[in-house]
Structure 1
Amino acid sequence: MTDIATQIDRAFAPLALAVQTARIPGGVLGVIDRDGNRALRVIGAAQSVPDQRPMTETTWFDLASLTKVLFTTERILALAAAGTIDLDAPLVSVLPDFRQYNLDNWERKVTFRQCLGHQTPFPAVFPLYTYGRDPDLLRTFLLQHEWSAGPSVYSDINFILLGLALERLEGRGIRAMEPGTGFAWFADPGSAAATEDCTWRHRLLVGEVHDDNCSALEGAGHAGLFGTADALLDFAASKLDDAASDALIRTPLSARRTHGWERPYDGWSGGDRCSGDTIGHTGFTGTGLWIDFARGHAWTLLTNRVHPTRHFDSGIFALRRAVGDLINAD
């Protein structure tokens, strides 16, 4: 197998090109293997407007939807392992007031496992934040809204609901829960990669969550976590070291998904050369983590591709695949 230094040197090339051609302000690429060897490469700016700050190996990133797998999936599966919840039980076993005014509807039949695998009819996108900024009222709205059933798609609603179940079980908001070693719900603006100049919050977002719904809810199960490349590699190393105890995150629920994570399919973010025993996930802000159990290594690509705006073709989808293919080129 190619040594880790060679892997990261060749995989860094497309990231460097994306920064040099001004597609992305900056990024960090990290690789780790089962023996604990790791390497990091960094390039570009953590912030480009209105001030310039360089990207560093210790820059904190808004991890966006990586929250789903790093935090929410981990907690839900731990509760299932402890017997606190049944993955095949409906959410109403913990959230009895979910759609409480219509007891005979599809929403009340949705299970924890279906939410983990995005096997529900919830819409792909829903602008909850446009209904106000009262987090308690928004939670009530979410639970009582009559959702239109559609095809099963990747939906943040699944993990927002899982987050509400966690809050109900623990009797506190998500931001009062321990986010996990090396992670946080906010970051020091001087140490964080900037994201978007937000049109409805009227400020550049640095160290506070980019996701609109998570911001309005003041913490949610689908987004909000911050971390560094080293924190992500530490998390990946824990999975590589103890793969047997994490069988469910490797167990397929569909052609594209396991419990919480994605698995390889044609055109997926991890590229075409990883093994079939690989899981991965991405975040809207330009983040991602992939763990290949058969090859015994993992990699993370962290960028601030939405800075200063999301309305620009950063090429992030092709970049992720190119990096994955070069990581696994041997």
Structure 2
Amino acid sequence: MISNCTREVLRRAVEESGLPGAALGVVDAAGERATLALGHAALEPEPVPLDEEFWWDLASLTKPLFTAREVLRGVEAGVLDLGDPLSTHLPDLAWMQETELRTRTLRQFLTHTAGLPAWAPIYAWGEAGTIRARLLQEPWPVSAPGEVVYSDLGYLLLGTVLERVRGRPLRDFALDPGLTFTPDPERTAATECCPWRGRVLRGETHDENAWALGGVAGHAGLFGTLAGVLSQAESLLRGGWLSPAGQAAALSPQAPGRTLAFVAAQPGWSGGSLAGAGAFGHTGFTGTGLWVDPARGLAWVLLTNRVHPSRHGPFDIQTLRRAVGNTLLAGRE
């Protein structure tokens, strides 16, 4: 399933273009798998060879693989509804303020159509308790709902909803095998030499906002092995990721270019231009990604540490993602 062309694309990225390491996994509708790992888990402070069992900081793959899935599990269990306004579960939100944010629904937050800004440096606000309190009381500028604005802030609020409804912190939620919030640093691919923390990050969340909240938040903090993330892709392809009704809801179009949990195939999509109209996927800032093309009976996972040793390097991760998707799909009937 991994063609020589795909292997050559990844070899060039690692050996000639400066990508430290990459792990690719592919699974088809029959459950047959193929995997490949190249390069290094770390280059600094010393080289560490990569193998397929290493953990990866999944970054924004946390959104679909954990937060959106847990929200939908809450819907399946009858403790949440996609039409619930945020104030239903966060009654203290924007206390003593007038804001439409309280009326925006869980569905709008899942699809990034709630009107929130994309990001804010909340890690600079202080300690975790202060950040959690201020997140709910900050007078966020809220635009009209409907337009897709990819927002970490919206998923931070969804994470808070989950903690309130389930009565426990996110790090205590059960996870599937191959996923964790607490990886072994010695068996984790390095991300950045972080200027703020003053060290190379291995086994701790790269995202500053999630790290400031204790390492886990609704938008980032999940780690996974190649096998673990590939199992998520397989469940999305073959069924069983949620109940049949829940999975159908998660994958149905909800907003321009968005399902409830994923990005739908569209021009310029990270999964490549050969993907079918029903394909979907998601990426993470650290260089991770998962894609599923049901019509072709194929799903694939590409995990890289493209931010190592710095996010400001010249490597073009989007071009690599599209090239991998296109070369994999070119071999399908």
Instruction: Normalising by structure 2, report the TM-score.
Output: 0.94
Is the 1:12–1:29 contact (alpha carbons within 8 Å) kept by the matching residues of 2?
Answer: no
Is the 2:79–2:165 contact (alpha carbons within 8 Å) kept by the matching residues of 1?
Answer: no
Residue 140 of structure 1 is matched in structure 2 by: 133
Q: CA deviation at 1:152?
A: 3.9
Residue 196 of structure 2 is matched in structure 1 by: 200
The one-character-per-residue Cα deviations of 1:59-99 (angstroms, maximum 9, x if unpaired) are 11000000111111111001112221111111111111111
Residue 35 of structure 1 is matched in structure 2 by: 30
Is the 1:289–1:301 contact (alpha carbons within 8 Å) kept by the matching residues of 2?
Answer: yes
**Structure 1 ranges of 4+ moved more than 3 A:** none
Is the 1:115–1:158 contact (alpha carbons within 8 Å) kept by the matching residues of 2?
Answer: yes
Is the 2:63–2:261 contact (alpha carbons within 8 Å) kept by the matching residues of 1?
Answer: yes
Is the 1:69–1:261 contact (alpha carbons within 8 Å) kept by the matching residues of 2?
Answer: yes
1:71 aligns with 2:66: yes
Q: CA deviation at 1:255?
A: 2.2
Q: What residue identity is the alignment partner of 2:315? A: S
Identity of aligned residues (%): 44
Q: CA deviation at 1:13?
A: 2.1
Q: CA deviation at 1:297?
A: 1.3
Q: What residue identity is the alignment partner of 1:223? A: A
Q: CA deviation at 1:56?
A: 0.8
SS of 1:65's equivalent in the other structure is helix
1:105 aligns with 2:102: no
Residue 241 of structure 1 is matched in structure 2 by: 238
The one-character-per-residue Cα deviations of 1:10-59 (angstroms, maximum 9, x if unpaired) are 22322211111242101001100111110111111100011111111111
Instruction: Normalising by structure 1, report the TM-score.
Output: 0.95
Gaps of 5+ in 1: none
Distance between the aligned counterparts of 1:5 and 1:271, measured in 2?
Answer: 16
Write the mapping of 1:52-201 to structure 2, written as runs, cut at 5 A: 52-102=47-97, 104-132=98-126, 134-150=127-143, 152-201=148-197
Distance between the aligned counterparts of 1:179 and 1:153, measured in 2?
Answer: 28
SS of 1:253's equivalent in the other structure is strand
Residue 325 of structure 2 is matched in structure 1 by: 324
Q: CA deviation at 1:5?
A: 4.2
Distance between the aligned counterparts of 2:73 and 2:173, measured in 1?
Answer: 14
Distance between the aligned counterparts of 1:155 and 1:313, measured in 2?
Answer: 25
Residue 265 of structure 2 is matched in structure 1 by: 264
Query: Over the residues paired in the alignment, what is the CA RMSD in angstroms?
Result: 1.3
SS of 2:273's equivalent in the other structure is coil
The one-character-per-residue Cα deviations of 1:197-228 (angstroms, maximum 9, x if unpaired) are 11111111001110000000112011111111
Q: What residue identity is the alignment partner of 2:114? A: T
Distance between the aligned counterparts of 2:117 and 2:9, measured in 1?
Answer: 34
